[in-house]
Amino acid sequence: MSTNKNGDKRFKISPKVVAFDFGADPVNFEDSVSVNCLISSGDMPVDIIWLLNNNSMDSYYGSGVNIMKSGKRASVLTIDSVHAGHVGNYTCLAKNRAGQAGHTAELIVNVPPKITPFDFGDEPANFGDSVTVQCTISKGDLPADITWLFNEYPLNDYLGVTTSKIGKKVSVLTIDSVNGNNAGNYTCKVRNIAQVTEYTATLVVNVPPKISPFSTGSEAVHLGQYITYQCTITEGDLPLNILWTFNNQPLFNDDHEDILIAKMGRRSSVLTIESVTARNAGNYTCQGSNKAGKASYTVQLRVIVLPRIRPFTFEDGPAQTGQYISLSCSVTHGDLPLNITWFLNYEEVDESYGITTMMVNKRTSVLTIESVDDRHAGNFTCLARNPAGRQLYTTELNIYVLPKIAPFNPGAEAFFPGDYSTFQCSIIHGDHPMLIYWYFNQHKLNETNAQQLGIQISKMGSRSSVLTIESVNGNHAGNYTCFGKNSAGVTNYTASLIVNVPPKLAPLPSSADSPLYMGDYFQLNCAVVHGDAPFNITWFYNDEPVNKLDGITILMQSKRSSSLNIESVRGEHAGKYTCMGANRAGVTEVFTHLIVKELPQLEQFYFNANGVNGGQAVRVMCMVTSGDLPIDIHWLKDGQPLLRSIYHKIDEYTLILSLRQTNVGDSDHAVIKL
């Protein structure tokens, strides 16, 4: 208790420290920690001090521990980077005039491992030696995990390396027989809860050279080609000596002006040939040596020559359709054997193209086209191949392409008079410009004669022409030919127009002006001068088939002609004769009349068989029994006409001679003349 200046009495209060700690879990190495010592009550002034393991903290200033007062009743202790030296009990002690109080908190630090240094010795290991190193953890929290790395990668069994753990803090690495593969960095890696620690030792092995295989990249090289061989010693101790030989003879820059040798660092040497020639072919050996041994690697350089084709072309310029052409591909350089192949527009040619190829010797192939057509236009390529590679040469064949006419027809097998017909001629292939014209039955159609025939020709663009017949008649039947003409030549296509034309018969001759007499020979010829075959020709007599009439024969002289024959005309042959011509288009008739003239026939007459007495009257009748009218009858005596007064006409067929008185002179013959 104390008394103030006013004489008042009061009690003294000692300080009270609020409890604090560093957390429930240990602090990791290099973590930052902080605790706050707070005086919750007590008389002022209050002194606050910190103790570590009951010792003053003055000696720890500058070791990463900071203490800072925060007001009159608080002090903050901070450790920026915790390590093992900071482990212990931290006490905050508060004092005033009434007394003191304190609070203690333990700082637990996870301590990282510390590895005792190790090595493989001062001298390199030799091939076959046995080596051992021991990794020992001198400090650090347990448990600790120990692993080994080789060149930063986990150890593999194939290296011939074994590891064994001795206790909790030691691991031993053993190599029973060292080889070049074992040279490198061996790292012992220790891990505990605080941290991972590593220590590395390098194993140096006296390693003989090992040469990485090299080549030019191909089995053979070409004349003039640039090549380089890089000999790299991937393993082996330094210093190294690298030597090149050619066909077992040492190579130096001064000995071969076309070969250059250059060292590239301590482990590599490059041999270069700027332009390969045939003399460079042979075996190239790189030899590497050091104090541990030597090694060599040999490659064979084969020099081969690519094919070289002599340029060729179609010298005559564009070819005409149907022209014969040939092309020769000669390989002037290149190793044998050679294979020569021809291509047209990048497709291999064969006989289906109308193209033949032939090897005339080991280096030349000849391509032949017997008859050029538009299929052959384009790029002809000769490809030559040998073991060295391939070369090709291409030239273009231009062809004057003949017009090609699409087949056409009139649209029907046959037409009847009055039908409509059209032909369209289209040029589907061929060079421009193009001329199209028409022929009808081998006669060229122009505007004039086409119009006269009732034919119209119209151009439809640059490649088509249309021929039109508005009303077909028999004159239109025949062959219509379309011609296409350009700079390459002329082609044509012909279509036939068939018109069903009824027969047209030649007129039959009339016998009116030259009648026949009985017994005469008679013939009629009936000819179909126009119309479609086949024909059927039939004869009629008085509208009845003639085959019913005796003495008449019919003969077909040709497909268009028939004859009617009467060997001996008789009176009953007179009448109307009709020839009928028929085909699928119609029927036509012609006719004529046969007139038969019949000579008069006299009935015999006689004077008195016993004679006539002188002065006796005589009367004789002359009768025409048959014959065509009119009939002229008169009497003759001894070839001389008698007076008409002595005979008279009874009718057209009868004449009577009357002699009133006969005499001796009348005894001669009397003749009747018709």
Render 271-287 in DSSP notation, one character per residue. EEESS--GGG-EEEEEE
Nearest to 340 by CA among 369, 308, 378: 308
Compute the half-sphere exposure of residue 7: CA atoms within 13 Å on the CB side of its CA. Answer: 0
Does residue 557 have a pLDDT over 60?
yes
Nearest to 539 by CA among 550, 517, 555: 555
At residue 607, the pLDDT reads: 72
Percent above pLDDT 70 for the chain: 93
Buried b (16+ CB within 10 A) or exposed e, 355-369: bebeeeeebbbbbeb
At residue 180, the pLDDT reads: 79
Compute the half-sphere exposure of residue 554: CA atoms within 13 Å on the CB side of its CA. Answer: 18
Q: Are strands 33-41 and 27-28 parallel, antiparallel or unpaired?
A: unpaired
Does residue 252 have a pLDDT over 80?
yes
Nearest to 286 by CA among 259, 306, 261, 317: 261
Does residue 641 have a pLDDT over 80?
yes
d(CA 374, CA 381) in angstroms, rounded, equals: 17
Does residue 672 have a pLDDT over 60?
no
Nearest to 466 by CA among 537, 547, 411, 503: 411
Average pLDDT of the segment spanning 290-311: 89
At residue 612, the pLDDT reads: 65
Burial class (CB in 10 A: 0-12, 13-18, 19+), 674: middle
Nearest to 321 by CA among 426, 396, 398: 398
Take residue 196 and report the two structure tokens written for it. Answer: 């991972």
Average pLDDT of the segment spanning 105-132: 89
Burial class (CB in 10 A: 0-12, 13-18, 19+), 332: exposed
d(CA 208, CA 240) in angstroms, rounded, equals: 9
Range from 25-29, 37-41, 620-624 carrying the lowest mean pLDDT: 620-624
Do 105 and 38 meet the contact criterion of CB atoms below 8 Å apart? no
Partners of 459 in beta bridges: 465
Range from 14-28, 152-166, 269-283, 340-354 carrying the lowest mean pLDDT: 152-166
pLDDT band at 389 (very low <50, low <70, confident <90, very high): confident
Which tens digits make up the pLDDT trace of 316-358?
778 887 889 999 999 998 888 999 999 999 999 988 888 999 9
Domain 16-110 sits in which CATH superfamily? Immunoglobulins (2.60.40.10)
d(CA 339, CA 232) in angstroms, rounded, equals: 39
Give the angle 588-590-593 at the CA atoms, nearest 5°.
Answer: 155
To the nearest 5 percent, what fractions of the chain are helix, strand and coil? Answer: 5, 50, 40
Partners of 10 in beta bridges: 2
AA identity, residue 109: V
Nearest to 190 by CA among 175, 174, 171, 172: 171
Q: What is the CATH number assigned to the segment(s) 504-597?
A: 2.60.40.10
Partners of 100 in beta bridges: 95
| Strands of the sheet with 640-641, listed across from one edge | 640-641, 634-637, 670-673
> Could you count the other beta carbons within 10 Å of the beta carbon of residue 331?
23
Q: Quick one: DSSP state of residue 547? A: G
Range from 81-85, 528-532, 640-644 carrying the lowest mean pLDDT: 640-644
Partners of 592 in beta bridges: 577
Task: Kindly report whether the global pTM for this prediction surpasses the value 0.75.
Answer: no
Q: Where are the alpha helices (DSSP H) in 42-191?
A: none
Do 633 and 606 meet the contact criterion of CB atoms below 8 Å apart? no
Do 187 and 272 meet the contact criterion of CB atoms below 8 Å apart? no
AA identity, residue 499: V
Take residue 610 and report the two structure tokens written for it. Answer: 């016993």
At residue 10, the pLDDT reads: 65
| Strands of the sheet with 647-651, listed across from one edge | 601-603, 618-626, 654-659, 647-651
Do 273 and 258 meet the contact criterion of CB atoms below 8 Å apart? yes
Mean pLDDT of the chain: 87
Domain 404-497 sits in which CATH superfamily? Immunoglobulins (2.60.40.10)
What would the DSSP string read from start to end of 605-649? ----TT---TT--EEEEEEEEE-PSS---EEEETTEEPPGGGEEE
Average pLDDT of the segment spanning 522-549: 87
> Could you count the other beta carbons within 10 Å of the beta carbon of residue 302?
13
Torsion of CA 538, 539, 545, 548, to 10 degrees: -120
Does residue 158 have a pLDDT over 70?
no
pLDDT band at 195 (very low <50, low <70, confident <90, very high): confident
pLDDT band at 673 (very low <50, low <70, confident <90, very high): very low
Distances (CA, A) of 348 to 325, 341, 351: 18, 7, 10
Does residue 25 have a pLDDT over 50?
yes
Q: Quick one: DSSP state of residue 112? A: P
Write out the residue limits of the CATH 2.60.40.10 domain(s) in the chain. Answer: 16-110, 114-206, 210-304, 308-400, 404-497, 504-597, 601-673
Do 454 and 470 meet the contact criterion of CB atoms below 8 Å apart? yes
Architecture of domain 114-206 in CATH? Answer: Sandwich (2.60)
At residue 296, the pLDDT reads: 95
d(CA 342, CA 396) in angstroms, rounded, equals: 13
d(CA 276, CA 256) in angstroms, rounded, equals: 13
AA identity, residue 434: M
Range from 91-100, 267-276, 634-643 carrying the lowest mean pLDDT: 634-643
d(CA 156, CA 592) in angstroms, rounded, equals: 131
AA identity, residue 495: A
Which tens digits make up the pLDDT trace of 498-516?
888 888 899 998 766 677 8
Do 552 and 575 meet the contact criterion of CB atoms below 8 Å apart? no
Helix (H) or strand (E) holding 260: strand 259-263
Compute the half-sphere exposure of residue 484: CA atoms within 13 Å on the CB side of its CA. Answer: 27
Look at the block and give the residue holding tokens 């017909």.
Answer: 421
End-to-end distance of the chain based on CA atoms, in angstroms?
216
Average pLDDT of the segment spanning 377-405: 90
At residue 240, the pLDDT reads: 92
At residue 30, the pLDDT reads: 83
Q: Quickly name the fold that domain 601-673 has.
A: Immunoglobulin-like (2.60.40)
Average pLDDT of the segment spanning 445-471: 93
Compute the half-sphere exposure of residue 505: CA atoms within 13 Å on the CB side of its CA. Answer: 27
At residue 668, the pLDDT reads: 47
Torsion of CA 485, 487, 489, 492, to 10 degrees: -20
Q: Quick one: DSSP state of residue 476? A: G
Do 247 and 280 meet the contact criterion of CB atoms below 8 Å apart? no
Backbone phi and psi for residue 311, each to the nearest 5 degrees, phi listed first: -55, 145
At residue 662, the pLDDT reads: 59
Architecture of domain 308-400 in CATH? Answer: Sandwich (2.60)
Q: What is the CATH number assigned to the segment(s) 210-304?
A: 2.60.40.10
* Largest pairwise CA distance in the chain: 249
Average pLDDT of the segment spanning 481-494: 92
AA identity, residue 210: K
